[in-house]
Chain A
Amino acid sequence: MEYLKFTPNLANDWKNALSTSEPYVFKRVMDSMNESQLESKLWLVQELVKLDIKPKRVAILAGWFAQYIVPLLYDNFESIEWIKNFEIDQDVKEISYKFNKRYKDSNKYQCSIKDIMMKSLEEDFDIIINCACEHMYPMTKFYEWNPELQDPLYVLQSTDDDQYDDHINCVKDEFHLAEQANIVDIKYKGSKKLPNGMTRFMVIGK
């Protein structure tokens, strides 16, 4: 997976999102759009494509503005019907909707403000994507909150880069990530050095 499809609809949504963001949010939006962010999402989608899965309902945990992951998923998996992004930052919601307006308007994308380590998702999903495991409590707590989920596939990313205060749950490597998240049926695991110097680990499995 080498690129994101820069379609006219995407261009229009992104122009609107970028031109109407409050100045104080703009820096964060820029941080969310660097090449490392895109690389890590391309990597994720590439490995999912290789696994030849047919996801329908996708939950993204702490997906931030989700401007890369949502179009990448819809462009590469015809089976997807619904993507929901669970965030804690209320500024994220409005901007995320602008970036993904074409999906929101067609009832294919929603952003919900919810702390997923303290509340249940209250919906079923067949894929759970968490590219921010370093920012939160280990996934075992998420399982406790969501026992009703029907054996979803988990796609988890984390890092060993503990220089940031909000990286409260770094792991040593992809093995550590799988162990911590209790992923026993591992479909994929690997690591990737990103352009920003950060090494990210990814585990896909159940």
Chain B
Amino acid sequence: MNTILCIKWGDKYDRTYVEQLKNQCENNCSVPFNFYCLTDKPTQPYDVLLPTYWDKYYLEDRDFFWAYRKCYMFALNEDPQILPRIKGDKFLFLDLDVIIHQDLKYFFELPMDKPYIVRGWWNDTITVKSNFAKHKSTPINSSVIRWDRGQLETIVKKINKNAEVIFFTYPSVDNYFNHHWYNCWNEEGGFFKGFPKGDIYSWYKGNIFPEDMEKRKIREDHKICLFNNSAENNDVEELKSLWNI
């Protein structure tokens, strides 16, 4: 069974974002699917309470963008408190701030020898490799992840084993993934596989470096548009305006 997951935590995105994402999925997915929102404040039938056991490792004073709560959803067979409620074998995670252009069926039909994550093709590979040790210029993006049940449990185990070091060292979950679960020197050789060029692009950063880097451009021939990591103050309003296009 196919399952689409999202996460809502804190106040940046209100409930309308979850509803908007759910509507987008219903309008753009031709195969049956479950829908769940993992959240700190469950109010809807599709809501699932997120655990908090990693909160003690988060270092607020470092101002890191550590969206670590995302990783709880990888523990589908592990956490007896919340995750048995989540049904399905094929999982697709979507950030709340995405625009879906095309049928999500595509993602559920991918060959799953490896899990998939967004490969930000808008990144310059040379910059990515040059900044690897500086923990900057991460080429992957966890706004869309596709995995089969059990495929990402190893990540949860690794985080549980190394939580202090991981939360201390990496400025973001994407950077952590880049260091330990991707291989920017041998992109076919990493744990994650990147979604191919032409699937997912960034509203704020472009599409493919260097040939298609126009920002703030809708590309309806792609499947999903990302808005995350924009560092833009008005990104919420901008996204809302695009929902109405």
Contact = CB atoms under 8 A, between A and B. Distances in A.
B165 A28 contact: no
Given A88-B179, A115-B179, A165-B134, A24 B165 contact: no
B164 interface: yes
Contacts of A91: 129, 132, 185
B235 to A, nearest CB: 22
B136 A165 contact: yes
A117 interface: yes
B134 A166 contact: yes
Nearest to B161: A118
Contacts, number: 46
Contacts of B132: 88-91
Interface string A21-34: 00011011000000
Given A88-B179, A115-B179, A118-B162, A137 B168 contact: yes
A25 to B, nearest CB: 7
A contact face: mostly helix, strand, loop, or mixed: loop
Contacts of A115: 179-180
B133 interface: yes
26 contacts: A24-B126, A24-B129, A25-B130, A28-B130, A88-B179, A90-B132, A90-B185, A115-B179, A115-B180, A117-B162, A117-B165, A118-B162, A118-B180, A135-B133, A136-B169, A137-B164, A137-B165, A137-B168, A137-B169, A165-B136, A165-B171, A166-B133, A166-B135, A166-B136, A168-B62, A168-B169
Contacts of B130: 24-25, 27-28
A176 interface: no
A137 B185 CA distance: 25
B133 A141 contact: no
Interface of B: 62, 126, 129-130, 132-136, 162, 164-165, 168-169, 171, 179-180, 185
A42 to B, nearest CB: 24
A89 B134 CA distance: 10
A55 B226 CA distance: 54
Contacts of A117: 162, 165, 169
Interface string A163-179: 00110110000000000
A121 to B, nearest CB: 16
A141 B129 contact: no
Contacts of B135: 165-166, 168
A117 B167 CA distance: 12
A168 B179 CA distance: 16
A92 B130 CA distance: 10
Nearest to A92: B133
A56 to B, nearest CB: 29
Nearest to B166: A118
Contacts of A27: 130
B14 to A, nearest CB: 31
Contacts of B168: 137, 168-169
Which of A25, A27, A89 has the most CB atoms of chain B within a 10 A radius of its CB? A89
Contact of B133 (A24, A88, A118): A88
Nearest to B185: A90
Nearest to A119: B162
B164 A141 contact: yes
Which of A92, A118, A165 has the most CB atoms of chain B within a 10 A radius of its CB? A118
A166 B138 CA distance: 14
A47 to B, nearest CB: 26
Given A28-B130, A90-B132, A115-B179, 11 more contacts: A24-B126, A89-B132, A89-B133, A91-B129, A115-B180, A118-B162, A137-B165, A137-B169, A165-B136, A166-B135, A168-B135
